Amino acid sequence: MTAIPIRKIEKFDLLSGLEKPDTHLRVFTQTFEVHSQILKEHSEFFRAFLDSSEKDQSAFPQEGIRYKWITHVDEDGSWCLVWEKSLKREGERTYIHDIDEQIEAFYTLLDAMYRTRIRFRSVRNLQIATDLADYYRALPILAKGVSYALLDGLNFISIIPANCIALLKISTKLRNKVLFKECVIHSTGPWNAPQFLNLDDPILKGICQKAYDGILAKSGKFFQSLLELNSKDDERSVERDKDIARCARYSQQASTRPGVIWNINMPCFYRELVTTVPFPGEANVHLHNMMRSNLTLDISRGGAGLRKQCLPFNIPLRRD
């Protein structure tokens, strides 16, 4: 029989005072050698069940590996870790999904518990890790790990716009305000077909709709001030109308709507107005207020650039 590999968790300075690992967590084909003290500190599940009263304490060795937990597949196809001595080996079910992604996600959760830099391999990896953290009642420590990753992980930040809907749900479960706000802002694009319309959660969809309505209100204020400005029959108004028409032509894109050949790419149009057309008074104030980016994780300032169909609006959010 092939021995199951053991992956040891590295001891960092934070853990220099701990004894040797005393726990084996066997997740399918991978055994993690960890410290029960860390599990109990960050997981309500392990704090409650590692030394639960119904377990015979004489079954736990006093030295070496004290706790051994292994994978159990439930009737519904999901899996969980159970105390080795509580599981009857005969008739154990087979997990029919991807084992490796479950192992990697559990590794991500342990990274968070050990306060190491979390290496998100994909949005799917974070989703599974969040589900695991929810089951093992360890969401707060994973949320902290995500926050640290957001602060110094450009690779993770760069995937937010294209994955904002999935990450919006994850951020809600993690109660991560920064990631939640970023995802709501990005979900309001593309301009003509905002991503939030694909949400199946009515509460989240309502929050995003409110944010999108705020964008339309800002746009409306700008155009109202523009109409009032250009209603004056003077030479500058005529020149400004020509500049606006030029910006509109510059911002045209091929349309996917039946019967429409060209669309105006509104974010591109607004950016062109900001950079090439001078507006006096309220029109200038409304335009610049609308275009000001208050994305906490706005990597465009470093030259990466936001998608052409997105506008980084400052959106006040509240989720009760």
pLDDT (0 to 100) of residue 317: 42
320 residues of the chain, pLDDT tens digit each: 355 566 655 443 445 466 788 889 999 988 998 899 999 999 999 999 988 766 655 555 656 788 889 999 988 889 999 988 877 765 678 888 889 999 999 999 998 998 877 777 789 999 999 999 999 999 999 999 888 888 766 567 788 888 999 999 999 999 998 899 999 999 988 877 899 999 999 999 999 999 999 888 988 999 999 888 878 767 788 888 899 999 888 888 755 556 555 578 888 888 889 889 888 888 999 888 888 776 777 655 432 233 434 444 443 344 33
pLDDT (0 to 100) of residue 300: 54
DSSP for the chain, please give it: -PPPPEEEPPP-GGGTTS-S--EEEEETTEEEEE-HHHHHHH-HHHHHHTT-TTS-GGGS-SSS--EEEEEEE-TTS-EEEEEGGG---TTPPPP-S-HHHHHHHHHHHHHHHTTPPP----HHHHHHHHHHHHHTT-HHHHHHHHHHHHHH-HHHHTTTGGGHHHHHHHHHHHT-HHHHHHHHHHHT-STTS-GGGG---HHHHHHHHHHHHHHHHHHHHHHHHHHHHHTS-SHHHHHHHHHHHHHHHHTEEE--STT-SEEE-HHHHHHHHHHH----HHHHHHHHHHH----TT-GGGGT----TT-----------
Domains by residue range for the chain, with CATH: 6-85+95-140 (3.30.710.10), 201-302 (no CATH)
pLDDT (0 to 100) of residue 59: 58
